[in-house]
Amino acid sequence: MSMILENKALSLYCVIVNFGEGSKVLKASKELGVTGGTFLLGKGTIKNSILNMLGLDEVRKEILLMVIEESLEESLNEHLRKRFNLDKPNHGITFSIPITHLAILNRHEYISKPKMRGADDMKYEAIVTIVDKGLSDDVVEAAQSAGSTGGTVIHGRGAGSNDTAKLFNIEIEPEKDIVLILSESEKTEAIVNSIKDKLNIDEPGKGVIFVVDVNRTLGLYRE
């Protein structure tokens, strides 16, 4: 899949649905050629004064993250909309974010994009690393050795193209650690390469790294 993905515009496709629906969405997406996805758990709120008064305004949600080719967005949107009635209220939402770069099974070194917006302010990028559970410490360590100041670890589960086992006909999706790192654009290259080398992201099934552009930040510590 790496060879196909290379040099193509990519996006991060996010779906937020009620708990339990996520796996179905991923399955439907796979029909269109999506290779895998990662789930996070969250809580959603409902705007309904009666339910608020009763204290019943919290729902468990699943957030599904998928890295897809940008050209697939249109058809995936249509497919999911039809299958899960997403145009009706309370059936879930989707959105997509352009990805600056993806490092998965990629033999080439990561090279920063040339600056597009001129050299006005300090630019930041968000580096998202998804690895097997328990490896987040290694990711943060590798990032720090390359100049990152820190990272945030989220716990989730994921399903790639070939690593789901079935038990009583229910798919078992392995647990994942998702590491979010905000870095200055100049440092991104070094950090991504450091993580990639330390965790052998090049090898199949070892994880995914992708980089998303960030517009504004607050609260980042700068030396």
Nearer to other proteins, 48 or 71 (CB): 48
Binding residue for other proteins, selected from 1, 155, 197, 200, defined by CB under 8 A: 155
| 1 binds other proteins, rule: CB under 8 A | no
Binding residue for other proteins, selected from 31, 48, 113, 186, defined by CB under 8 A: 48
Binding residue for other proteins, selected from 7, 49, 55, 218, defined by CB under 8 A: 55
Binding residue for other proteins, selected from 134, 150, 186, 197, defined by CB under 8 A: 134
**Nearest 5°: CA angle at 194, between 135 and 199?**
35
Q: Which stretch binds other proteins (CB under 8 A): 19-27, 80-88, 113-121, 184-192?
A: 19-27
- In the numeric block, which tokens belong to residue 91? 């059936």
Binding residue for other proteins, selected from 24, 205, 217, 220, defined by CB under 8 A: 205
Positive or negative CA dihedral for 182, 183, 188, 193?
negative
Cα–Cα distance for residue pair 74/205, rounded to 1 Å:
27
| 168 binds other proteins, rule: CB under 8 A | yes
Say what angle helices 185-199 and 136-145 make with each other, to 10 degrees: 130
Classify residue 151 by its DSSP letter. -
Query: Which residue type, as a one-letter code, is found at position 164?
Result: T
| 92 binds other proteins, rule: CB under 8 A | no
CB 199 within 8 A of CB 135: yes
- In the numeric block, which tokens belong to residue 168? 């009583």
Classify residue 110 by its DSSP letter. P
Q: How far is the CB of 2 from other proteins (least distance, A)?
A: 18
> What residues line the site for other proteins (CB under 8 A)?
18-19, 22-23, 39-41, 46, 48, 51, 54-56, 58-60, 62, 90, 132-134, 155-157, 163-168, 170, 172-175, 205
